[in-house]
Amino acid sequence: MIRRVQQMTSNYLYKWLRSGLHLFRFWSAFIYSKKLKKTVCFVGITGSAGKTTTKDISANILRTAGECFNTPGTENYSHSIAKLLLKVRPRHRFCVLECSGGEPGELNKPLRLFAPNIAVLTLIARDHFKAFKSLEAIAEEKSKLVSALPIDGVAVLNIDDPLVRAIGESCNRKIIWVGKADGATIRLLSARSKWPEPLTLEVKYEGTTYQVPTSFHGKQLALSVLSALGVGLAAGIPLTSAISAVAEVRPAEGRMEVVSNEKDFTFLRDDWKAPHWSFSAPLEFMAEADARRKIIIIGTLSDYSLSASKLYPKVARQALEVGDIVIFVGPHAPRAAKAKRDTGAENLHAFTEIREASAFLNALLEPGDLVLLKGSNKADHLVRLMYNTQNPVGCWANQCGVANFCCDCPRLYKPMPASAAIIPLAGNDSGRKVIVGLGNPGSSYENTPHNAGYRVLDRMATRMNGLWVSFAEGAVCEVDIAGETVSLFKPAAQMNHSGPSTRQFLDRMGTAINDCLVVHDEMDLTLGQVKLKQGGGDAGHKGLKSLVASLGSHEFKRMRIGVRRPDNTNAAKNSVLQPFSDSDETALEPSVDRAVDILLNDVAGSAL
């Protein structure tokens, strides 16, 4: 108790000190920025995508006219702005700040600290849609940067985005429009980006056509280039000087970044974030690429309107139209694997464990391969797939929660203890339901009493048109019951050692004890009986004993399938491994169907 009080006091003190530091830093930056605005030209950049690349190019263009401070990396959240402003010096002629606006009201605080002389708004899309509920609300938040411009300020806006265009038409400030549409100040005539050639733009400004070579890949980055050229014009820099500066900028990490190695295969990293609406652009790039083989690896997607059970198969089918090999990694991988049923594709692979995906990829890669990594860094850390082709990675944690990339993490090549990725089962509360069927893997055990659990799940998967996918722990099939996704799981270990692999799967799915149901054979029930019960002992059943030991509880629900034959005189060990006779099969078959009916009703009832 004393230790708990000490810990609470320590946490409270830490939060109080941190809050005090933020407040002190805010007011220091507020006072300091008032002095800076007399000599420093501030550039603010926001939008649903392209901010970091626009910031990097803009800063390099502005350096042709004087010293420039800019946001390092992706420190674009409101609490970072005060800290960054305190690093600006009077000698800096320009300061380029990337502003997120990822939730309602987020831009209010930084805009109290600085007023942009130049404001850039790239586009409005579904990024952070859950926080705003509508595109119009997102646009309203982003528009605050433009509204903060002084009377002599300049807005650089995307003329092709209707919501951005509406903001510009009502801002009463000078506007430099960029984009394809008529009326653009810097008009995009064409964009070419066919691997291995980099992105090249053809633009028109004041009646003259210019070629804009870059070191980027992907036509979607054309908007960032155009916006940065607009910043240069707003700052009085000749367009020719700005174009020369563009070619010097390399892609930011994880944003269509190309990484090649001595083994002659190339990774295209687009793994910083993966809102669904952004997926079509890298897919188009891969479709047009000239490569020996195109391998597409997809992790966790975000900001989508469909249910995950519908989205991931859809994305898988789209990727299969482009990629020679498509690999899904993470907890949604089994959902993507459903596309196999529709397409019959043998080149679609799914791994819930990134370590298993890495082993598969390392055995697969050949010289000349182009590999796209598309995922959310915080959720997936897919970059480990690339690092593991160079040196053995030690950390394979599924959800470490660190937002930064792995390159500077001391744990990347440090061996991880076996328990490091394990979350206590009692703490899981995701509600994902899992039905575990006990049995022995291998065809020689298929028709034996000990495989009753396997048998019931196989029947259930067939009835629900499910597809089994093999993973390290066992076979997984996802089915929809009463609008709820339920995972069917058959451990790959022998019956008597099925606990550890089951525990590992439940941990990864975030499944609590009360959301787990185990189907197993029962010698105390006569052949054909089916009974559902909550909790209980193991009754000498070594498979249940292994589960109880691994899960740390015997309170899981179980379905018992009677397998005691009327004429049974053999020892239990021999009886459960003795194949069923024809008469046994006749007695058992109806009970398998009855068991499936009971399971479906039980899950549907709990979903109400």
- Which residues are known to be catalytic? 450
According to the model, what pLDDT value does residue 23 have? 54
Question: Bigger pLDDT: 470 or 6?
Answer: 470
According to the model, what pLDDT value does residue 506 have? 86
Q: Has residue 477 got a pLDDT over 70?
A: yes
Q: Has residue 241 got a pLDDT over 90?
A: yes
Question: Bigger pLDDT: 299 or 473?
Answer: 299
Those residues whose C-beta lies under 8 Å from the C-beta of residue 567, and which sit 6 or more positions away, are: none
Is the entire prediction scored with pTM above 0.75?
Answer: no
Interior/surface letters 440-468, b for 16+ CB within 10 angstroms, e for the rest: bbeeebeebbbbbbbbbbbbbbeebebbb
What is the DSSP annotation of 394-451?
----S-----S-GGG-TTTTSPPPTTTTPPPGGG-----EEEEE----SGGGTTSGGG
- Each residue's pLDDT tens digit, 511-535: 888 889 999 998 888 888 999 988 8
Q: Has residue 184 got a pLDDT over 70?
A: yes
Those residues whose C-beta lies under 8 Å from the C-beta of residue 222, and which sit 6 or more positions away, are: 188, 191, 199, 201
According to the model, what pLDDT value does residue 8 have? 43
| CATH node for 27-246 | 3.40.1190.10
- Each residue's pLDDT tens digit, 52-64: 999 999 999 999 9
Question: For all residues of the chain together, what is the average pLDDT?
Answer: 85
Mean pLDDT in residue range 357-362:
91
- Each residue's pLDDT tens digit, 141-174: 999 999 999 999 999 999 999 999 999 999 999 9
According to the model, what pLDDT value does residue 111 have? 87
Mean pLDDT in residue range 576-602:
88
Q: pLDDT grade, residue 239 (50/70/90)? A: very high
Question: Bigger pLDDT: 218 or 111?
Answer: 218
Question: Bigger pLDDT: 322 or 566?
Answer: 322
Q: Has residue 461 got a pLDDT over 70?
A: yes
Helix 239-246 and helix 51-62: axis angle, to 10°? 120
According to the model, what pLDDT value does residue 568 have? 58
**188 and 203 Cβ atoms separated by less than 8 Å:** yes
Q: Has residue 116 got a pLDDT over 90?
A: yes
According to the model, what pLDDT value does residue 10 have? 46
Residue boundaries of the structural domains of the chain: 27-246, 257-408, 425-607
Residue of 118, 117, 135 lying closest to 126 (CA atoms):
135
Q: Has residue 569 got a pLDDT over 80?
A: no
According to the model, what pLDDT value does residue 189 have? 98
Q: pLDDT grade, residue 28 (50/70/90)? A: low
Q: Has residue 33 got a pLDDT over 70?
A: no
Dist. CA 504–CA 502, nearest whole Å: 5
Architecture of domain 425-607: 3-Layer(aba) Sandwich (3.40)
Mean pLDDT in residue range 474-482:
87
What is the DSSP annotation of 273-319?
--BGGGTHHHHHHHHH---SEEEEEE---BS-SS-HHHHHHHHHHHH
Dist. CA 570–CA 576, nearest whole Å: 9
Architecture of domain 257-408: Alpha-Beta Complex (3.90)
According to the model, what pLDDT value does residue 78 have? 64
**70 and 95 Cβ atoms separated by less than 8 Å:** yes
